[in-house]
C-alpha cells in the first residue's frame, strides 16, 4: 500500500471583487464554517496530509491565526497532525531580470500563485480555489489520482464537472469547457462566457474563442472549476513558461498567467499530459452576493442529511 499523502494547495489570495468582500473568511456553515473548512474536511477524508495556503501578505497573519485555532486537533487518516503552510503571492515575486511595471496592480494569475509553493511541496498535489465547494467525491477522485502518480513525472489531471452542475441561479457564469482525446487526455479548454440555463431548459453561452454568441451548450460537457492534480515536476516547467510569459506580456497591466495556459503549453510541447477526470459532484460557490443564502441553505441540508458533522471541527 502506498502511504504517500498528497498535499492540498488552496488558492486564497483573491479578494472577491464581484462578491464584495473576503469570501475565504465568510462563515456559511451552520456553525460559521467557511467553504475552505469543508474542502479541508473532504481532503483529509480523501487522504491528504498537508494544506498549503496561498494568501496575500495583508491578511496572512489573520488567516494563519484563525487556521491554527480552528484545526488544532485535526488528524490525517493515519492519525498524524494535519500540516499547514502559508505562502504569500505578491506582485514583486517574479524572476530576475524582470521588474514589476509601475502601472501593474493586478495579481499575476493562478499559475503564478501555484509557483509560490514550489519550495514547500515535493509530492503530488491538488490545486483548488478557496471559495469553491467541490464535494467529497471530487476529493476522493483527486486523492486517489495523486497517490497513483507518486514518483512519476509529467502526469497531471483536471477534475471536470458537468456544466449543468456548476451554474448559478443568480446570474450567468464563465466556464472553461474541456476537450479531450480518445485516451481521456486534455487537448483544449475553451472559455465560454455568459453561461446560463434559459426558459427552454437548455444551457447557452458565448464562445470567447471563436466569437460565437448565444451558442447552445452540452449540459453534460465537462468544464474546469480550477481543480487540478500535478506531479511536482510541474513547478520547474511552469517557472520556465512564466519567464516566457513575462518576456511577452510584462507591459500588459491586465494580462495574467493562468493554470490552463501553463498546462496547455506543457501538453502541446509534449512535455506532459493532463488526464480529464469526471466527478458526479455538484459545484457551488459564492460568485455573487445573492448566492450566499443559497449556499448557506445547501450546507444546512448537507448537515441535515448527515453528510457533514456540525460543528465541522
Strand partners, 285: 132
- Residue 94: CB partners within 8 Å, gap ≥ 6? 100, 108, 112, 242, 246
Structural domain includes residue 313: no
In a domain, 311, yes or no: no
pLDDT of residue 97 exceeding 80? yes
Domain that residue 271 falls in: 7-304
3-state secondary structure of 157: strand
- Is 1 among the domain residues? no
Residue 208 lies in a domain: yes
pLDDT exceeds cutoff 90 at 111: yes
Q: How confident is the model at residue 286 (pLDDT cuts 50, 70, 90)?
A: confident
pLDDT at 149: 96
CA 228, CA 275: separation in Å to the nearest integer? 10
3-state secondary structure of 92: coil
24 pLDDT band, cuts 50/70/90, is: low
Q: How many CA atoms lie within 13 A of 156 on its CB side?
A: 28
CATH number, domain at 72? 3.90.550.10
Please report where in the chains the cell 483548488 appears, as a residue.
128
Taking residues 217-236, report their average pLDDT. Answer: 97
Which stretches of 34-143 are assigned E, i.e. beta strand? 50-55, 83-88, 125-129, 132-133
Asked if omega into 311 is within 30° of 0 (cis), the reply is yes
Please, which pLDDT band fits residue 23 given cuts at 50, 70 and 90?
A: low
Distance CA 24, CA 49 (A): 21
Q: What is the separation of C-alpha 300 from the centre of its chain, rounded to a whole number of angstroms? A: 23
Overall domain count for the chain: 1
Q: Are 295 and 132 in contact (CB under 8 A)?
A: no
C-alpha to C-alpha distance for 237 and 233, rounded to whole angstroms? 7
Question: Does residue 40 lie in a domain region?
Answer: yes
Query: Is the Cβ–Cβ distance between 190 and 106 less than 8 Å?
Result: no
Q: Is residue 2 part of a domain?
A: no
C-alpha 45/C-alpha 234 separation (Å) is 25
Question: Does residue 198 lie in a domain region?
Answer: yes
Reply yes or no on whether the pLDDT at 276 is more than 70. yes
Find the length of the chain: 313
Has residue 133 been placed in a domain? yes
Amino acid at each position: 500500500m502506498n502511504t504517500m499523502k498528497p498535499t492540498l494547495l488552496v488558492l486564497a489570495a483573491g479578494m472577491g471583487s464581484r462578491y464584495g468582500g473576503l469570501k475565504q473568511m465568510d462563515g456559511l456553515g451552520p456553525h460559521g464554517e467557511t467553504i475552505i473548512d469543508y474542502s479541508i474536511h473532504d481532503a483529509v477524508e480523501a487522504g491528504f496530509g498537508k494544506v498549503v495556503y496561498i494568501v496575500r501578505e495583508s491578511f496572512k497573519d489573520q488567516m494563519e491565526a484563525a487556521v491554527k485555532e480552528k484545526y488544532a486537533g485535526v488528524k490525517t487518516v493515519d492519525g498524524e497532525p494535519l500540516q499547514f503552510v502559508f505562502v504569500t503571492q505578491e506582485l514583486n515575486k517574479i524572476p530576475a531580470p524582470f521588474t514589476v511595471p509601475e502601472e501593474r496592480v493586478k495579481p499575476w494569475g493562478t499559475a503564478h500563485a501555484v509557483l509560490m509553493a514550489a519550495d514547500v511541496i515535493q509530492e503530488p498535489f491538488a490545486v483548488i480555489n478557496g471559495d469553491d465547494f467541490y464535494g467529497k467525491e471530487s476529493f476522493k477522485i483527486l486523492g486517489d489520482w495523486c497517490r497513483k502518480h507518486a514518483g512519476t513525472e509529467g502526469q497531471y489531471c483536471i477534475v471536470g464537472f458537468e456544466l449543468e452542475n456548476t451554474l448559478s441561479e443568480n446570474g450567468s457564469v464563465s466556464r472553461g469547457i474541456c476537450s479531450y482525446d480518445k485516451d481521456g487526455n486534455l487537448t483544449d479548454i475553451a472559455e465560454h462566457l455568459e453561461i446560463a440555463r434559459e426558459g427552454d431548459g437548455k444551457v447557452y453561452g458565448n464562445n470567447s474563442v471563436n466569437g460565437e454568441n448565444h451558442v447552445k451548450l452540452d449540459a453534460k460537457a465537462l468544464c474546469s472549476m480550477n481543480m487540478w492534480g500535478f506531479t511536482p515536476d510541474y513547478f520547474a516547467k511552469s517557472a520556465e513558461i512564466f519567464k516566457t510569459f513575462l518576456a511577452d506580456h510584462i507591459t500588459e497591466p491586465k494580462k495574467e498567467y493562468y493554470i490552463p495556459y501553463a498546462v496547455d503549453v506543457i501538453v502541446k510541447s509534449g512535455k506532459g499530459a493532463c488526464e480529464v477526470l469526471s466527478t458526479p459532484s455538484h459545484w457551488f460557490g459564492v460568485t455573487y452576493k445573492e448566492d450566499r443564502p443559497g449556499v448557506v441553505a445547501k450546507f444546512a441540508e448537507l448537515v441535515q442529511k448527515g453528510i457533514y458533522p456540525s460543528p465541522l471541527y
